[in-house]
Amino acid sequence: MCLAAPFDNASVAAFIGALAGAVGTYIVVRATDNARDRRKAKYVIPNMLDSAIEIAQQRLESLGGRTTAPSGMVQISIGNPFNVAMLNQLAADASPFLTRPQSLALSKLVFYMTQADAINEQLRLIWMQSREGHVANIQSVETYNQDQRSFLAQTEKLADAYRNNKLTEKGLPAEQ
């Protein structure tokens, strides 16, 4: 009877009920968060990479095979930016559910896409200046285009390898 005495008090019973409800709610919220982050790792990140592949392909196509226009004028191609911030956030949220190669590949992809976007922005600034009458340095534009092609090709190749689960332990595309 000594053990039952404290539980006869209504305020103690209410406290225990509230505590049990809070613990139950915490467990449900954690399970829901885990399910959401697992879904990000399994579905949302691969879908974002599909979009990244499309953007990389469009930008590579717009760059074409040549860097100068037929008339000797410089060709400046500006494309849509990648959604790097969202990919970075998704990778952070889903990190407990990613393999080491997937995590490394996403870090590399964020770097490649950020570099390609920085070059894209630099080309946009050159284009804006040329519209204001400034003369673009053809050698600089050709170098930017070449570097952008490299980063876009790396983005496309690595995103495709991630999507097809063909990554090495270092998060690089497996050679075929």
Is the predicted pLDDT of residue 2 greater than 60, yes or no? no
pLDDT for 94-150, tens place per residue?
A: 999 899 999 999 999 999 999 999 999 999 888 888 888 877 788 888 899 999 999
- Indicate the SS3 state at residue 37: helix
Answer whether residue 27 is part of any domain: yes
Is 1 within the bounds of a domain?
no
pLDDT value at position 21? 83
* Model pLDDT for residues 31-56, shown as the tens digit of each residue: 676 677 777 778 889 999 999 999 99
Range of the domain at 129: 6-163
Q: Does 168 fall in a domain?
A: no
Give the pTM. 0.75
pLDDT at 65: 58
pLDDT at 156 (0 to 100): 96
- Does 145 map to a domain? yes
pLDDT (mean) for 64-84: 72
Cα–Cα distance for residue pair 82/100, rounded to 1 Å: 23
C-alpha torsion angle, residues 78, 80, 84, 86 (rounded to 10)? 160
Rg (CA), the chain: 26
* Residue 141 is assigned to a structural domain of this protein: yes
Q: Which of 16-20, 53-57, 85-89 has the lowest mean pLDDT?
A: 16-20
Contacts of 60 (CB under 8 A, 6+ apart): 149, 152, 153, 156
Domain count, the chain: 1
Give the pLDDT of residue 127: 85
Tell me, yes or no, whether 171 lies in a domain: no
Which of 5-14, 84-93, 165-174 shows the lowest mean pLDDT across its residues? 5-14
pLDDT surpassing 70 at residue 155: yes
Percent of the chain with pLDDT over 90: 47
pLDDT value of residue 27: 77
pLDDT at 69 over 70: no
Q: Is residue 38 part of a domain?
A: yes
What is the amino acid identity at position 115? Q
